[in-house]
Structure 1
């Protein structure tokens, strides 16, 4: 698969539209990999105060704003809903950190996150744990066995709006998963296999089917699923009983939908999505991924370190608060024109435009 490189000047900044690389068969850039490992050895330890402070502040602001969206007059309610989406989005993205962290280094964080956010929003961490690590597996990234990869750049134009539409409907799916299918699956082994395999992961690859959990992870899964199901059944039951106003439920679901859509937009530009299913080297995976290191807006739409998504693929265990410093060190050591700089892009708009343009080329094929 051969791609081309062009530069376009937009808003006074060079914008990379494509990169002339061949992902398949690309050799690893040993100098970059060695520098990434050597220059970040002192950045590997997560800082509990940053994790807890960031998460708790984001969750508190998000829940307060959600209450405002439900209780305040229309104008203030809309502003509160927007704030709730942004804050709860940031808080929810700590699920990504939970997937990668050594839990002994942040004791209680997974439990606290699930109790305060994962179960109340029906997004328990088991939906991502055991899924996302496969995406980082050397031989599975970008293949049909990768739960988080689709060659979106090589698909038809209608695939992008459909990709976003799925996220709009996410809260309905979560209510059905945890409020209906989950409890019913306890009565039917066949249904349980389907629920576990197809409806228990935040995955985008429809061909992926996850395996049943084992050992300690199975115990984690069990209590998290029970908690999320209690929330879902309570929401459904109290709404039908007239205890919870339908308006309140719809606003709650709209905020979750907003969080899901924002995350789906970020997912659209997390990679170039140009791999055709072959295993790739770490360097090729890096160049198929995206850093958006400049400007303020990436802090909003790609928070908790995800503006450095390509760097994260080089150093998946690096805490999110260390990625900015790691990026500065690698930039200084490797310089412009290096393989490392080949994954940097200036804006969300340019990346979405590149992806849309690529799908348009598939229309006639």
Structure 2
């Protein structure tokens, strides 16, 4: 048996043992928290989309009135970018009790936020299985904020855009060498899903050109460019500066934040709770926080503090 295989098995065993140590809730307590709900998911989605539509309308109908248009653009852009959150929740199949609804909303949310849910499901499965384990967690390949320049580059969203453009192209053309987390049996589905998604973008661009209107730029590309830095500011806090091991009590951060952020992010600021028990749906995470918070190492009072700590410690 090769050293690489032995090392991989040791990492897997270590991850399994450390995750087993983190089983804090009783079966009954977890069963109550795990209750999924179509109605709660649909209400949350409807409210999210309502904010998106209203802010997008204000942005599109107030050019020249920049005191109203610019704030509307920021809200609209973040509501688009944060469609990552329902996609993430639906990939876990916890947003709704109905799995077909989870699948449909995940794909639609990914379309709006420039993720592909079919690909992300496989990527994210490895992230949860090997959270913060070097050479195993795919998130650890992302650029690190090791100095102020790299931090600002990450926050700008430019590396994210580069990664998404190259990643979507690689998948659409059947190149999976950089994506070992996508099993061979799932590749055809992932390719097909990505091609459909890219086809919709191309169609939207073509319609904009056909009518001589900058619709694609004004209502998708520009808002997402504006919204991504806010999302990066939030997502960077989830694991940065936490331990590089499989201990779920120390390798993930919960950030206590304002209600609007929790709303747009579908309670994902309760991220340590989510990683410890990924089966708990978004609407139960505040209650889970009350039961679990005392066990976590990293609970911070706001994203400004977390990002300031990241900058000063880089």
1:327 to 289, 304, 309: 289
1:64 shift after superposition: 4.1
Q: Give how far 1:41 is off.
A: 2.5
The aligned counterpart of 1:12 is none
Structure that is richer in helix per residue: 2
Q: 1:46 aligns with which of 19, 36, 43?
A: 36
Q: Distance in 2 between matches of 1:275 and 1:125?
A: 28
Match of 1:232 among 201, 210, 214: 201
In structure 2, how many angstroms separate the alpha carbons of the residues matched to 1:348 and 1:248?
31
1:162-241 to 2 correspondences below 5 Å: 162-165=153-156, 167-168=157-158, 185=173, 192-193=174-175, 196-198=176-178, 209-215=179-185, 217-218=186-187, 220-239=189-208, 241=209
Moved more, 141-150 or 242-251: 242-251
Unpaired segments ≥5 residues, structure 1:
1-23, 186-191, 199-208, 332-337, 360-365
Residue number in structure 1 paired with 2:135? 144
Deviation at 1:174? 5.3
Cα distance in 2 between the residues matched to 1:70 and 1:83: 13
Q: Residue in 2 aligned with 1:110?
A: 102
CA distance in 1, matches of 2:198, 2:213: 20
* CA contact 2:272–2:296 (8 Å) conserved in 1: no
Task: Note the 1:146-161 alignment, pairs <5 A.
Answer: 146-149=137-140, 155-161=146-152
Matching of residues 308-347 of structure 1 within 5 Å: 308-331=270-293, 338=294, 340-347=295-302
Pick the aligned partner of 1:83 from 72, 75, 89: 75
Q: How many Å separate the matches in 2 of 1:97 and 1:258?
A: 23
1:264 matched to 2:232? yes
In structure 2, which of residues 105, 111, 122 is the aligned counterpart of residue 119 of structure 1? 111
Aligned length: 298
Query: Do the aligned partners of residues 182 and 35 (structure 1) sit closer, same or farther apart at CA in structure 2, a change above 3 Å counting?
Result: closer
Q: TM-score normalized by structure 1?
A: 0.68
1:273, 1:257 → 2: CA distance? 26
Aligned to 1:57: 47
Residue 58 of structure 1 contacts residue 90 of structure 1 at CA under 8 Å; is this kept in 2?
no
Question: Shift of the alpha carbon at 1:181?
Answer: 6.7
Residue 348 (structure 1) aligned to one of 303, 309, 314: 303
Distance in 1 (CA, whole Å) between partners of 2:180 and 2:19 is: 33
Per the TM alignment, residue 62 of structure 1 is displaced from its structure 2 partner at its CA by: 1.1
CA contact (8 A) 1:142 1:275 kept: no
Structure 2: segments with no counterpart, 5+ residues: 1-13
Residue-by-residue CA offset, 1:224-249 (whole Å, 9 max, x unaligned): 2233122221233344x452523651
Larger Cα-atom Rg: 1
* Correspondence for 2:56: 66
TM (normalized to structure 2)? 0.78
